[in-house]
Chain A
């Protein structure tokens, strides 16, 4: 008996050590991918501009450590200001194009394209972004809306799926696994939330109906509208950040961003993420430099910094959104790698749509606005 416990104890110790070694080795291994520093001309320019960087992003999303480390390493003072949603950010820049932010983080391609078309963005200087050139996955360098990343860059991938609480929701529900659970889940009346955003909610409805997320066909959009209208009485709320509601069990099924979904299912095992079989829509968590920027070189220095492998590992491991860096996935924990939502494999990616200009211009945009207004009022 005693021998057995001893054996178990030492086994646990060995497992523990192996695990520790694993973590340490991955930290070391991140160093095996070279860091390409920015050219001296960029550093000189940073000094000339006063070694400051004004960032406009979400509050409490990225690790503070990342910004602190950046300041420590380059002596550039980072000042952050936060928006409550990206529409607020777009409106602010639109009303005052000279708003002196140097870098905007955490937006999406639709914000970037609209702002670029309004001539409110500066173009990126790729010579100052050697890490991005080396490590950004090729598929994100050639996105249709901005081939060659002229005015924006992704730092990770966002997409929406849904999560449910298996204490209350039947795992064997015939609708489980489909967007249908959100749209036809009459059984769960009053316990469902949808993201409070026209593109996301209408897009999910379009996917459920088998159409393109980016559709601008009137009949398809009207079908999606009817579906959303019929769904409204079943909803507890339109809420873009329902994590707390899910945690408190105020609601059981939520349309949710993939990173939030990851953290929730980790903190509360009864909350499970679902990748809808019909597919979803993925796009980059996008950054760009607005026209009013007075510290453009520092912004480039920062972008190059977040594409350094160790830094990107820290960032992606923290936010839980799929990486766009070629090597970041290699350093993620097994727990993270085991979760399909984070891996976003090629098969699932093929089922998804990605950003198309029809979302922000032409009849598609107009109809979406009108539909969303009709649903909300």
Chain B
């Protein structure tokens, strides 16, 4: 059962990485278009990134042994 767990954990990290990467990238674009909205975009970005991270951690716990 160890190898499926490890592969699953890897897939979770890939998924979370892609998700947070896209949020960061899109936020950069948004800031480049509207630099005056920097603060609001950053706050929204952090909240959404935190939500994805929370799901990712919950899934990692599900794959953890014991």
Do they bind each other? no
Question: B residues touching A (Cβ–Cβ < 8 Å)?
Answer: none
